[in-house]
């Protein structure tokens, strides 16, 4: 007998996987369904103005369709400025920026992130600052400040404590480098 395949059901299964992942990362899909594709977010989004292919309105739509592959292939979500204009203007209170964060978290777990994200995270874990620009000691001296700022970068005891703390976060499971 010929095997019956329920295409619609298959589709739902396919969408569900991404939806569940998004929900686990902080963006319930039932909220996304409220999106009316009005385009207000896209009208203010710097990613759209700069010409990135997947700017926010398209990202919301693709997420509703469960199209995870798009985000694994296309790095647009990593160009989001975290500016929250979309959150401010969305008439349906979708919080599109929180969707971007959820997508990034899903992609992160598939190791689909730009290399500067990994570098930033490693700097952050190892020295407490995501951005460390060489030569800071001289620059500080030049403007009459002590060579070391009072942050964790020059504070061995606090740095160790900080790492103890970070080891208890999701980093323990998903950091793309050893935590020691």
Partner 1 sequence: MKRVGLFLGCNIPLRRPDIEYSMRYLLKELGVEVVDLEGATCCPAFGVMPSVDLVGWCVASGWNMAIAEGKGLEVMVTGCGSCYGSLNEARYHMEKHPEIKEKVNEILGSVGMRYEGKVKVYNIYNYIYDFIGLEELKKAVRYSLNGLVCGVQVGCHNLWPSKAYPANDENTFQPKRLREICEALGGVAPWYSMMTDCCGMGALGSLARDKSWSLFKRKASKMIEEINPEVFVTGCSSCLLRFDNDQALMRKEGVIDFEVPAVHVAQLVALALGAEPEKAVGLAEVPVDKVVEKIRGGK
Residues at the interface with ligand SF4 (CB under 6 A): 35-41, 44-47, 56-57, 60, 80-86, 90-92, 94, 96-97, 100
Distant-in-sequence, close-in-space partners of 123: CB < 8 Å, separation ≥ 6: 129, 130, 131, 132
Q: 63 near 22, Cβ under 8 Å?
A: yes
Q: Is 95 left (phi over 0), alpha (psi -120 to 50) or beta?
A: left
Nearer to partner 1, 19 or 97 (CB): 97
The CA distance from 45 to 174, in Å, is: 30
Query: Of these partners, partner 1, ligand SF4, none, which one is at the site of residue 32 (CB under 5 to 8 Å by kind)?
Result: none
Nearer to partner 1, 10 or 49 (CB): 49
3-state secondary structure of 139: helix
Query: Of these partners, ligand SF4, partner 1, none, which one is at the site of residue 145 (CB under 5 to 8 Å by kind)?
Result: partner 1
Among positions 84, 92, 112, 126, the unique one binding partner 1 when judged by CB under 8 A: 84
119 membership: H or E segment, kind and range? helix 115-127
* Residue in the structure block whose two tokens are 């570098």: 119
**In the complex, which residues of this chain contact partner 1 (CB under 8 A)?**
25-26, 46-47, 49-52, 75-76, 78-85, 87-88, 97, 101, 104-105, 108, 113-114, 116-117, 120-121, 124, 128-133, 136, 139-140, 142-145, 149-153, 155, 157-159, 161-162, 164-166, 168-171, 174
């Amino acid at each position: 007998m010929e095997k019956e395949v329920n295409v619609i059901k298959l589709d739902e299964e396919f969408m569900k996987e991404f939806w569940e992942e998004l929900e686990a990362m902080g963006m319930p899909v039932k909220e996304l369904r409220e999106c009316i594709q009005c385009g207000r977010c896209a009208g203010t989004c710097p990613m759209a103005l700069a010409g990135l292919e997947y700017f926010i309105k398209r990202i919301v739509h693709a997420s509703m369709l469960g199209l995870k592959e798009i985000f694994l292939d296309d790095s647009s979500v990593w160009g989001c400025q975290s500016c929250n204009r979309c959150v401010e203007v969305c008439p349906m209170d979708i919080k599109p920026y929180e969707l971007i964060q959820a997508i990034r978290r899903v992609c992160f777990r598939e190791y689909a992130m730009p290399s500067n994200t990994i570098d930033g995270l490693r700097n952050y874990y190892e020295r407490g600052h995501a951005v460390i620009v060489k030569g800071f000691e001289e620059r500080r001296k030049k403007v009459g400040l002590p060579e070391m700022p009072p942050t964790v970068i020059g504070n061995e005891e606090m740095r160790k404590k900080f790492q103890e703390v970070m080891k208890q976060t999701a980093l323990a499971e998903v950091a793309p480098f050893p935590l020691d």
